[in-house]
Structure 1
Amino acid sequence: MNKKEIQMSRMWKYFVDATADIIQEEGLEHVTIRKVADRAGYNSATIYNYFSEMSHLIFFASMKFLKDYTEEVAQYIQKGKDPIEQYLLAWECFCRHSFKQPQIFHAVFIMDLTDPPEKLLEDYYKIYPADLINIPEELQSILFERNVSKRGRSFLEIALKEGYIKEENVDAINELTILVWQGMFTNILNNRKSYDAQTAVDITMNYITEIVQNANLFHFKEPKQEE
């Protein structure tokens, strides 16, 4: 990197680390531009020289709390004997971490960022390359995918190629499992259920496992498009 890029990277880290500290100490809902600026030792206007949206700063800071997840999911997947087991294990790991840290996972995977999240992920790992050290290369492309639907489909396409599921069922399995997770995740995020994290994981994975294991017994029809 040239001097300008080094300076940009340094300033970028000041603000991201300051935001992460506030999230750690007070919670994501208490992050403000003024607090971040004060913690980093700069004025609020300076932040907008490096981040066009507050949501971007929260996204980058939230990514710092995903390191345990990204390292653990690789270990989970390696336990699977086939693509279906790997798919279920990946979901189990995702549920465990997302239900424990709903605000963090909302910021990374659901919150409107206005800009393409793939580019933001690329920028993050340029500044924090150490976060990728323990992640197998074949999984890195999946972890760079912030879209939950595309992440899930990556595993199902492997299962399809190896003959574990039918092609006409791939999209239905993917969509149904995501809807199950989203329903539980929304309940937890909005305090609509009093489940502890492990109970929420058990319930969600019971439904997801049933969907995946019984998928080939059913014929999922494509919904008719309105003319």
Structure 2
Amino acid sequence: MGIKERKEREREEKKELILSAAKKIIEEEGIQALSIRKIASRIEYSPAIIYHYFQDKSEIVDYFLREGYKEIVSALGGLQHQEGEPDIVLKASLVNFIEAALKMSEEYKSVMLNDSEEVLKHTSVLFRGASDERPAVGLLCKYLKQHYFKDREDSFIELTAQILWSSIFGLIIRLILEKNVDEVQKHRLIEHNIRFIINGIKTVK
């Protein structure tokens, strides 16, 4: 390995170390508690070294929000690639989404319950036009239009996707907060929630 390659590898290793420390702070204390100084203290670097890799705290926050959103979109990927009965495909994709969020529960809670502008610019989904700016909402809208609401206007479909998203979000947050809910009850709640959503969609269809 040449000098250039070794330096590049060392740079990536330091960057990963910084991101790992930042992730632990977010999980333990919340995204609002994240700071360059805290990251530096945790990995025993000077703040100046952190700034060598990231312009500021906002750049680190943006990184985690982008990565988290990729996981969410990936969980809903079945809406693009799976074929079959629409109810079954939609249910499977929503279950995947819920499970993906619960796997990163503390990070999800910290980010999604944060009302700062720098976070909301990534996480807000209730504004008009969200289907154009939020890939996950866009996926839901596209699937709903294709399989449930072919003759409905786009604004109605977007509202439906936003209400669907909000319902799922509420369940995820309660499951994260109520840690004593056993697996059987958790499964029942998820199944019941999704059944209500799909039945509601078909009722207004």
TM-score normalised to structure 2 length: 0.59
Q: Give the one of 187, 195, 199 matched to 1:209.
A: 195
Given that 1:177 and 1:208 are in contact with CA atoms closer than 8 Å, whether structure 2 keeps it comes out as: no
| Number of equivalent positions | 181
User: What is the CA-CA distance between 1:46 and the residue it aligns to?
Assistant: 3.6
Given that 1:77 and 1:90 are in contact with CA atoms closer than 8 Å, whether structure 2 keeps it comes out as: no
Per the alignment, in what secondary structure is the counterpart of residue 114 of structure 1?
Answer: helix
* 2:171 is aligned with 1:184: yes
Aligned-residue Cα RMSD (Å) equals 4.4
Q: Which residue of 1 aligns with 2:105?
A: 102
User: What is the CA-CA distance between 1:40 and the residue it aligns to?
Assistant: 3.8
Question: 2: CA distance between counterparts of 1:164 and 1:92?
Answer: 19
Structure 2 residues not aligned, in runs of 5+: 124-131
Question: 2: CA distance between counterparts of 1:102 and 1:151?
Answer: 18
| TM alignment of 1:22-101, pairs within 5 A | 22=24, 27-29=27-29, 33-49=36-52, 50-53=54-57, 56-57=59-60, 60=63, 74=77, 80-101=83-104
User: What is the CA-CA distance between 1:93 and the residue it aligns to?
Assistant: 0.9
Structure 1 residues not aligned, in runs of 5+: 119-144, 220-227
Greater per-residue helix proportion: 2
Q: Which residue of 1 aligns with 2:149?
A: 165
Q: Which residue of 2 aligns with 1:218?
A: 204
Could you give the per-residue CA deviations for residues 178-225 of structure 1, whole angstroms, max 9, x where no partner exists? 221222233244x35732466335313422332223424227xxxxxx
User: What is the CA-CA distance between 1:43 and the residue it aligns to?
Assistant: 0.9
Q: State, as a whole percentage, how many aligned pairs show the same letter.
A: 15
Write the letter of the residue equivalent to 1:91: L
User: What is the CA-CA distance between 1:146 and the residue it aligns to?
Assistant: 9.0
Question: 2: CA distance between counterparts of 1:152 and 1:65?
Answer: 15
Question: 1: CA distance between counterparts of 2:192 and 2:166?
Answer: 14
Per the alignment, in what secondary structure is the counterpart of residue 118 of structure 2?
Answer: coil
TM-score normalised to structure 1 length: 0.55
Per the alignment, in what secondary structure is the counterpart of residue 180 of structure 2?
Answer: coil
